């Protein structure tokens, strides 16, 4: 579309938002957009905010391509229509709704609740902000048919989002994702949204549910006697202004830990995230205040969660007593090894257990699972696919744990999404278990590398914002897909996995085989030296992500720093060869 045509179209769409159907504040915002810079008007109205396979996520503000009470309302109307089609025999389907600390989260939650009730759907609404995994728990606990959480996870403060869950407590997957999307797309105007809310159909979820949830988590402890001996372990915890401010400390106390140290400035729930640039525990800067608190207090463990409390980043002391941050693959490997080792010691294995990880999560987890005779399933990126496996194998196989390299972990099937509350409790327990043996988590990590090989992973995200950015990301994926490299950083490309075409290509035999996973816009290149490169656009942010996994041998503990340096150099050369800096 030519720019003149595009401008004409977005101006017409903007003027439609000046009608009496929209509140005065929104009308003023649209008026400012119409009178302001053209690029801002285009970004706000050039498309409808896409309701994807998980829901909505985007920048807040007025416009069809923004998160606001109207785009939230239209999505909720579509969801309501789908619920009635799926559950025609229920007089009143029910939904649970949670929200985090982001600006407007409470407003959006109440908006969704009102529209659901207007459509004859009962609502269980949390009284205050709660972590996403408790929403997953509440859906099953209260027998709801769906759930909504208002959050944009770790995105910058200007973002918010709307995630939809199904009756198993998991984010929607096929066929419900496509079914809901189809219903949402039928809602072309706010006039199609039933906004005659029925407040009497809303029930409030409070502390009684917290206590049940935490009680269930307490039952997951694997080493209660060890915790009792080391109950005073000093743990610094920060929710980074988010929704786990109460629940993670409650979970730790339920396990028996008494030495939880807060970061008071970050216990303040604030959607502007005043103490950090980004509320993302994957980024070192987000945990800096917690690290300072740990140095001040002599704490041995640091943990920080993202705003909606489903992911956790940690720091542990190395062999010099210095605090070092672990990445998601390292934490996942330690957590998995601890769980499986304790299952072995407690004689819990019955031969039908499995774990799951995403295709971009370290192969070290597969190696650890094999060591204990446990199946490891690879799934597409997104914890909903791990939850899908739990549902598929329910009653047939026992799910032990699931992992995403992006700091998301789950033990057991109490909930059906990644859970930082459970993870924090088990990470702390693994710390004292290692301590009881005279070791640290850092020592244990090197032990894993000595036994299974040294894995090093790097993630680089290339940000391209707006309409032009989306087009550039699409062009990059097309180039890698249609003109794939034969060698990367001097190493031959042996296999290409194309998850969009659901085919793998072997460059030696020239054979193709089917990938038995759903379609997804992901490419993987396996090199002769064992390196694995994964490329995919983010489904929630204006980014294209490059995951680099390299592997080498570690013969001696003292060689660890140099071995890491060499592998990091290999990863750097791969990124350079791909044109990524």
DSSP state, residue 397:
S
Residue 456, helix vs strand vs coil: strand
Q: Do 75 and 55 meet the contact criterion of CB atoms below 8 Å apart? A: yes
Residue 196 to residue 193: CA distance in whole angstroms: 9
Beta strands in 225-268 (DSSP E): 235-238, 260-262
Bridge partners of 56, per DSSP, are 162
Residue 6 to residue 457: CA distance in whole angstroms: 42
Backbone φ and ψ of 317, nearest 5°: -90, 135
CA dihedral 473, 477, 479, 485 (to 10 degrees): 130
Residue 487 to residue 526: CA distance in whole angstroms: 10
Output the six-digit token pair for 213: 């949830």
Q: Give the active site residue among 80, 105, 136, 153.
A: 153
Q: Do 129 and 20 meet the contact criterion of CB atoms below 8 Å apart? A: no
The answer to whether 534 is a known catalytic residue is no
Sheet containing 260-262: give its strands across: 260-262, 235-238, 301-305, 312-317, 323-326
Residue 223's CB: how many other CB atoms inside 10 A?
20
Beta strands in 248-300 (DSSP E): 260-262
Element (H, E) at 338: helix 328-345
Distance of CA 313 to the CA centre of its chain: 12
Residue 517's CB: how many other CB atoms inside 10 A?
15
Residue 544 to residue 527: CA distance in whole angstroms: 21
CA dihedral 171, 172, 173, 178 (to 10 degrees): -150
Element (H, E) at 378: strand 375-379
The sign of the dihedral angle between the CA atoms of 535, 368, 132, 264 is negative
Q: Do 429 and 384 meet the contact criterion of CB atoms below 8 Å apart? A: no
Active site residues: 153
């Amino acid at each position: 579309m030519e720019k003149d045509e595009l401008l004409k179209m977005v101006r017409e769409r903007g003027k439609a938002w000046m009608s009496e159907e929209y509140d005065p504040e929104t009308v003023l915002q649209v008026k400012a957009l119409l009178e302001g810079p053209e690029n801002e008007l285009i970004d706000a109205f050039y498309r409808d905010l896409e309701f994807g396979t998980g829901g909505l996520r985007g920048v807040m503000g007025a416009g069809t391509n923004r998160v606001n009470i109207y785009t939230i309302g239209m999505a909720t109307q579509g969801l309501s229509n789908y619920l009635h089609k799926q559950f025609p025999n229920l007089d009143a389907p029910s939904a649970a709704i949670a929200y985090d600390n982001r600006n407007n989260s409470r407003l959006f939650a109440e908006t969704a609740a009102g529209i659901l009730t207007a459509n004859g759907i009962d609502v269980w609404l949390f009284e205050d902000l709660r972590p996403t995994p408790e929403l997953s728990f509440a859906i099953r606990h209260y027998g709801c048919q769906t759930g909504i959480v208002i959050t944009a996870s770790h995105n910058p403060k200007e973002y918010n989002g709307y995630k939809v869950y199904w009756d198993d407590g998991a984010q929607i997957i096929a066929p419900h994702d496509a079914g809901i999307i189809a219903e949402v797309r039928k809602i072309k105007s706010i006039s199609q949204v039933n906004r005659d809310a029925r407040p009497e159909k809303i029930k409030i979820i409070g502390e009684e549910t917290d206590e049940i949830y935490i009680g269930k988590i307490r039952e997951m402890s694997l080493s209660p006697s060890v915790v009792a001996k080391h109950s005073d372990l000093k743990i610094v915890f920060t929710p980074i202004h988010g929704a786990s401010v109460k629940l993670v400390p409650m979970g730790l106390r339920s396990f028996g830990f008494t030495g939880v140290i807060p970061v008071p400035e970050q216990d303040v729930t604030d959607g502007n995230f005043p103490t950090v640039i980004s509320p993302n525990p994957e980024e070192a800067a987000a945990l800096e205040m917690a690290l300072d608190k740990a140095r001040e207090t002599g704490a041995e463990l640091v943990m920080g969660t993202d705003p909606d409390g489903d992911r956790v980043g940690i720091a542990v002391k190395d062999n010099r007593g210095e605090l070092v941050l672990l990445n998601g693959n390292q934490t996942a490997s330690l957590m998995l090894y601890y769980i499986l080792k304790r299952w072995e010691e407690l004689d819990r294995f019955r031969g039908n257990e499995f774990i799951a990880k995403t295709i971009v999560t370290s192969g070290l987890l597969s190696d650890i699972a094999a060591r204990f005779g446990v199946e490891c399933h690879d799934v597409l990126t997104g914890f909903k696919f791990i939850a899908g496996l739990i549902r598929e194998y329910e009653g047939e196989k026992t799910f032990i744990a699931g992992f995403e390299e992006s700091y998301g972990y789950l033990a057991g099937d109490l909930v059906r999404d990644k859970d930082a509350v459970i993870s924090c409790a088990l990470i702390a327990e693994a710390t004292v278990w290692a301590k009881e043996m005279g070791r640290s988590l850092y020592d244990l990590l090197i032990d894993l590398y000595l036994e299974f090989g040294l894995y090093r992973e790097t993630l680089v995200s290339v940000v391209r914002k707006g309409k032009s950015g989306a087009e550039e990301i699409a062009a990059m994926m097309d180039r890698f897909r249609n003109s794939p490299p034969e060698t990367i950083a001097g190493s031959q490309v042996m296999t290409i996995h194309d998850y969009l075409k659901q085919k793998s290509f072997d460059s030696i035999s020239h054979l193709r085989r089917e990938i038995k996973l759903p379609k997804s816009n992901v490419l993987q290149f396996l090199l002769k030296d064992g390196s694995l490169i994964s490329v995919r656009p983010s489904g929630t942010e204006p980014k294209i992500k490059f995951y680099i996994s390299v592997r080498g041998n570690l013969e001696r503990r003292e060689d660890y720093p140099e071995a890491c340096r060499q592998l990091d150099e290999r990863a750097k050369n791969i990124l350079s060869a791909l044109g990524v800096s």
